[in-house]
């Protein structure tokens, strides 16, 4: 079951995130984003009452102030449940929720072999100025036509650079 995260899920989300990445940096990022109030929404994958996956979308600041942009990071699946489709389910459900929130587009830094299957591409991010511009890992998915037609400058929440 994929559902919105609740405050009571936070310890389990921290455990899943740390286990997925094999370190605590991404779990710490999640905490910093929450403390700063920069989380747009979080989803969890729950199985038999246990959290086995998590995805977070945060608000980005763009110089096109009439539009809402989201950053996808991080996404985690518990190691024993990886490569069984859960990550894909979380990402697709997250993108649907972004549409519900009225987001025009989503940006991420991720593996260039993984995210194109969900529609992300480095080409779509090519006209976006950001600290990550130019990296093949910096990818965008427009949820509305023209969302990433440049020039467009985005700023990430401070939690990403802390
Ligand atoms: C990335 C992650 C969320 C994907 O979730 P998942 O449930 O394992 O993914 P799915 O089952 O939906 O898709 C599996 C496919 O994803 C791809 N994939 C998974 N992890 C990948 C990675 N780290 N790099 C590149 N491709 C990856 C593979 O192509 C895999 O297909 P295969 O089994 O045929 O090789 C999960 O593996 C994870 O938590 N990894 C550790 C944390 C992480 O790296 N997060 C993403 C940061 S960008």
Q: Quick one: which atom of ligand 1 is closest to the CA of 78?
A: 39
Q: Quick one: which atom of ligand 1 is closest to the CA of 88?
A: 12
Region 39-48: mean pLDDT is: 98
- Length in residues, the chain: 162
- Token duo for residue 92: 């697709």
Q: Does the pLDDT at position 55 exceed 90?
A: yes
pLDDT bracket for residue 162 (50, 70, 90): confident
User: Looking at residue 122, what DSSP letter applies?
Assistant: T
In the prediction, which pLDDT does 79 show?
98
Query: Ligand 1 within 6 A of 23 CB?
Result: no
Query: Ligand 1 within 6 A of 157 CB?
Result: no
Alpha helices, DSSP H only, in the chain?
10-21, 25-35, 86-101
Q: Does the pLDDT at position 150 exceed 90?
A: no
Region 30-57: mean pLDDT is: 98
Structure confidence by residue, pLDDT tens digits, 78-89? 999 999 999 999
Q: Which of 151, 148, 100, 89 is nearest to 124 (CA)?
A: 148
Distances (CA, A) of 125 to 81, 82, 104, 129, 133: 31, 28, 13, 8, 8
In the prediction, which pLDDT does 39 show?
98
Region 51-74: mean pLDDT is: 96
The residues, any chain, with a CB within 8 Å of residue 14's CB and separated by 6 or more, are 27, 30, 31
- Nearest CA, atom 47, ligand 1: 110
Mean pLDDT of the chain, nearest integer: 97
Domains and CATH numbers, the chain: 2-160 (3.40.630.30)
| CB-CB contact of 100 with 110 (8 Å) | no
* Beta bridge pairs of residue 46: 51
In the prediction, which pLDDT does 128 show?
96
In the prediction, which pLDDT does 124 show?
96
Q: Does the pLDDT at position 158 exceed 90?
A: yes
> Between β-strands 105-109 and 39-47, what pairing exists: parallel, antiparallel or unpaired?
unpaired
User: Is residue 36 helix, strand or coil?
Assistant: coil
- Token duo for residue 71: 């950053």
Predicted TM-score (pTM) of the model is: 0.95
Structure confidence by residue, pLDDT tens digits, 67-122? 999 999 999 999 999 999 999 999 999 999 999 999 999 999 999 999 999 999 99
In the prediction, which pLDDT does 101 show?
95
* Beta bridge pairs of residue 106: 70, 141
CA gap 63, 67 in Å, rounded: 9
Region 16-31: mean pLDDT is: 98
């Amino acid at each position: 079951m994929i559902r919105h995260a609740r405050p009571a899920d936070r310890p389990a989300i921290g455990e899943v995130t740390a286990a997925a990445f094999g370190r605590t940096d991404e779990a710490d990022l999640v905490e910093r984003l929450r403390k700063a109030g920069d989380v747009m929404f979080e989803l969890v994958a729950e199985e038999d009452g246990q959290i086995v996956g998590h995805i977070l979308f945060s608000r980005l600041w763009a110089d096109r102030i009439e539009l809402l942009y989201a950053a996808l990071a991080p996404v985690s699946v518990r190691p024993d449940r990886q490569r069984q489709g859960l990550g894909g389910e979380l990402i697709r459900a997250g993108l649907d929720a972004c549409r519900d929130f009225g987001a025009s587009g989503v940006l991420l830094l991720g593996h260039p072999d993984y995210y194109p299957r969900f529609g992300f591409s480095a080409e779509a991010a090519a006209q976006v100025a950001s600290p990550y511009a130019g990296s093949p890992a910096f990818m965008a998915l427009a949820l509305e036509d023209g969302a990433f037609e440049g020039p467009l400058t985005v700023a990430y929440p401070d939690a990403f650079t802390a």
